[in-house]
Amino acid sequence: MPRQAERGRPGSAELDVLIIGAGFSGLGVAALLDRAGLRSFLVLEAADDLGGTWRDNTYPGCCCDIPSPLYSFSFDQRAGWTRLFAGQAEILDYLRGVARRRGLLDRIRYGAKVVEARWSGRHWEVTTAAGERYTARFVVSAVGPLHHPAIPDLPGAAQFRGAVFHSATWDHGVDLTGKRIAVLGTGASAIQFVPAIAGRAAAVTVYQRTPPWILPKADRAFTERQRWLARRLPPYRWYVRARLFWTHEKRARGFVGDPAAMATTARYARRLLERQVADPELRARLTPDYAIGCKRLLISSDWYPALTRPDVEVRDGGVKEVRPGSVVGTDGVEAPADVLIYATGFDAHHTVTRMSIVGRDGLSLAEAWRDGDQAYLGTTVAGFPNLFVMVGPNTALGHNSQIFMIEAQARYVVACVRRMRRRGSLEVRAEVQRAFNEWLQGRMAHTVWQTGGCRSWYQDPSSGRITVLWPDTAVAFWRRLRRVRMSDYLLDGARVSARPIPARRRPPSAASSRWSRPAPGRRRWP
């Protein structure tokens, strides 16, 4: 088990910053705080190791769908990636390396599950499940949105005699050899683990409610020469990273600017389906009936071949009920099963509010977000002084690296903390947050996620609003967080006027003059 933190033990002096979660977000904030000389911080992690989603998801075939040179911090790039699309173990090893190289291991306290954070009027009082208490001027929630598995309540599931688990909590003690396996879902995890277990299991039945759009995955191993260049020539690493970034960034047009631009992408997807699925009846069942990009766009070159195997069967619709030794689909057909695997995604809308966060005047975050998650720049929330939310509302991407967004947020958080070192509380003004979200939802109305004719986990279950995704380019997000506009905030409860302070002068992905030029014709929110 990684070494426990010595600093910031319960009962010690008040910390400047308390970070909840030791995944990409938490480690990113911690690393940048340390680099800025702000070393009065502690990271509380509920598990016994760091890594977040890359620690938890260990299912067969688990890997990233963003190229590894881009799915990493700009300030701690890795030269030794073995593949273009790194696997789970390699990404987790990278995160452990970041914590080790940045001297963060003794700043992390493991087994510290936060159950409550309460604003006292001067600082945050944080309590863990073990009863430990901490005080901190600032709290950063870095628990991540893809953390709590979403498991449907199926009739009869409790009576199933075989093994049952979610892809995010894969039971490696279950030998799948010769077993009949029922897989519920065809999302990002299913398209990775089904090809990995097909052929080992006796039979795999995949229950598909809606077929996903699939693009080919151009994965490859890096050559010895490429790895040598990455190790010995840092400009080469930046070149590779920048090239990948801009290749992905231009894809935003189809999602948020011109949905018609997705027509070429749709042709690629249909061509892959036609090439890999010869059976016209199965091909028709695997063809989506909604606009491409409306739901998460997936990449795989072995999903369709797996579904055409004689030992793999695709059933349309969901599951009606589970019996002791079988699964009954909504079509009424019963299929025998020895193992039931949920590939049903995560509850991305209630991750932060699973712990009690109480802000000014006793307002809880759950109450503030009862009609859907809402924040300013996805990072600060009105009514909650000195609280920052990493990967908060409307900060996820459909086209580029989430680590770029995380780093932009982390730099913004550090800039705020640095600015407030000798001040009291910082709280976004309610009218500023409201104006920002009105702009955001107005822009969202013209994206493929709102106009594509489908429902997805991007939408809030109660309001129907898209509260997960950012409706613009990653560069636009970075540009908005590049400076902290103090006039957007209340300082010690009072409105002030102050000059903006820079969160970062240069973008974290590439050194290019393109970043400093405003996008032509870009309409700014008020």
Q: What is the DSSP letter of 2?
A: P
Residue 514 pLDDT > 60, yes or no? no
Residue 523 pLDDT > 50, yes or no? no
Residue 148 pLDDT > 90, yes or no? no
Q: What is the pLDDT confidence band of residue 144, given thresholds at 50, 70 and 90?
A: confident
Portion of the chain with pLDDT greater than 70, in percent: 91
pTM of the predicted structure, to 2 decimals: 0.91
Burial code (b: 16+ CB inside 10 Å, e: under 16) for 448-474 equals: bbbebebebbbbbeeeebbbbbbbbbb
3-state secondary structure of 215: strand
Q: What is the DSSP letter of 488?
A: G
Per-residue confidence (pLDDT) for residue 421, from 0 to 100: 82
Per-residue confidence (pLDDT) for residue 56, from 0 to 100: 95
Edge to edge, the sheet with strand 339-342 lists 163-166, 339-342, 180-184, 203-208, 312-316
Per-residue confidence (pLDDT) for residue 502, from 0 to 100: 58
Residue that wins the pLDDT comparison between 249 and 148: 249
Residue that wins the pLDDT comparison between 372 and 49: 49
Residue 360 pLDDT > 90, yes or no? yes
Helix 224-232 and helix 234-249, axial crossing angle in degrees, nearest 10: 110
Domains 15-148+348-516 and 164-212+299-345 share a fold: yes
Look at the domain 164-212+299-345 and name its fold. FAD/NAD(P)-binding domain (3.50.50)
How confident is the prediction for the chain on average, in pLDDT? 90
Residue that wins the pLDDT comparison between 417 and 457: 417
Residue 416 pLDDT > 50, yes or no? yes
Domain residue spans in the chain? Answer: 15-148+348-516, 164-212+299-345
Helix 88-101 and helix 24-35, axial crossing angle in degrees, nearest 10: 20
Distance CA 7, CA 10 (A): 9
Residue that wins the pLDDT comparison between 505 and 188: 188
Strands 334-336 and 133-141: unpaired
Which candidate, 481, 112, 31, places its Cα nearest to that of 17?
A: 31
Per-residue confidence (pLDDT) for residue 504, from 0 to 100: 53
Residue 524 pLDDT > 90, yes or no? no
Angle at 438 between CA 434 and CA 442, to 5 degrees: 170
> What is the mean predicted confidence (pLDDT) over 163-179?
96
Predicted confidence (pLDDT) per residue in 279-331, tens digit: 999 999 999 999 998 899 999 999 999 999 999 999 998 899 999 999 999 99
Per-residue confidence (pLDDT) for residue 10, from 0 to 100: 55
Would you mind telling me the total number of residues written for the chain in this entry?
A: 526
What secondary structure does DSSP assign to 298-357, as a single string? EE-SSHHHHHTSTTEEEEES-EEEEETTEEEETTS-EEE-SEEEE---B--SSSGGGSEE
Portion of the chain with pLDDT greater than 90, in percent: 77
Least confident range from 33-37, 197-201, 440-444, 512-516: namely 512-516
Predicted confidence (pLDDT) per residue in 206-224, tens digit: 999 999 999 999 999 999 9
Per-residue confidence (pLDDT) for residue 520, from 0 to 100: 33
Strands 387-389 and 133-141: parallel
> What is the mean predicted confidence (pLDDT) over 143-171?
91
Residue 76 pLDDT > 70, yes or no? yes
Residue 6 pLDDT > 50, yes or no? no
Residue 384 pLDDT > 70, yes or no? yes
Per-residue confidence (pLDDT) for residue 392, from 0 to 100: 94
Distance CA 84, CA 64 (A): 9
Domain spanning 15-148+348-516: which CATH class is it, in words? alpha beta
